[in-house]
Amino acid sequence: MKRVLLAGLLGGLALFAWESVAHLVLPLGQAGLKTIDNEQAVVGALRDNVRQPGLYFFPASAASGASQAASGPTGIMAVQPNGATALMPSQLLTQLGADMVAMILAGILLVQAGGMPGFGKRVAFFTVMGILPGLRTDLSYWNWYAFPATYTAAQFTVNIVGFCVAGMVLAKLIGTPAAAPRQVSRAAA
């Protein structure tokens, strides 16, 4: 279990490092995102009309699941009326902690699956796990909330590559469980 914990912590660190590169250096972090024309007017309207931080649907009928006419804008937005600073240490530590917990759980799944012989098979096991967050979250956001396909594809890429990179660390450190020693039967002895 100590090996799995160490592998998970280091794998989580590798995942966090990849996510940092993907979002801060590569264009994956901004893929599919656009700026608002006349942003100041929109921000002013938000400042005047949105008082509480939260996740907002518009028009209001979208939040209740009611049918709505396709006339005019529809959307979803996360709003912090008083602003928020990006890349705060608490945010970075929360992400790092989540990545480490995810990789510890992934390591436990590998051990429970029997360890799998071969480094490549173990890395493939973790890489396939990287598809799951995209299917459960990103594809749902594309389907239900019209998140751009470019954004969705970028998030799939971040997850799959991230699980592959972290998987290399886990596959190396966890390795294949040692075979149990064979019992010598009394009849053979």
DSSP 93-129: HHHHHHHHHHHHHHHHHHHHTT--SSHHHHHHHHHHH
Give domain limits for the chain. 2-35+86-174
Q: What is the mean pLDDT of residues 24-28?
A: 93
E strand or H helix at 144, and its extent?
helix 139-145
Confidence at residue 182, expressed as pLDDT on a 0 to 100 scale: 46
| 181: pLDDT strictly greater than 50 | no
Report yes or no on whether pTM surpasses 0.75.
yes
How many other C-beta atoms lie within 10 A of the C-beta of residue 74?
15
What is the number of residues in the chain?
Answer: 189
Confidence at residue 170, expressed as pLDDT on a 0 to 100 scale: 94
Q: Answer for the pair 131, 152: CB distance below 8 angstroms, yes or no.
A: no
Across the chain, mean pLDDT equals: 87
Confidence at residue 74, expressed as pLDDT on a 0 to 100 scale: 84
Phi-psi region of 76 (alpha: psi -120 to 50; beta: other; left: phi over 0): beta
pLDDT tens across 73-130, in order?
888 888 898 888 888 889 999 999 999 999 999 999 988 888 778 899 999 999 999 9
Percentage of the residues of the chain whose pLDDT score is greater than 90 = 64
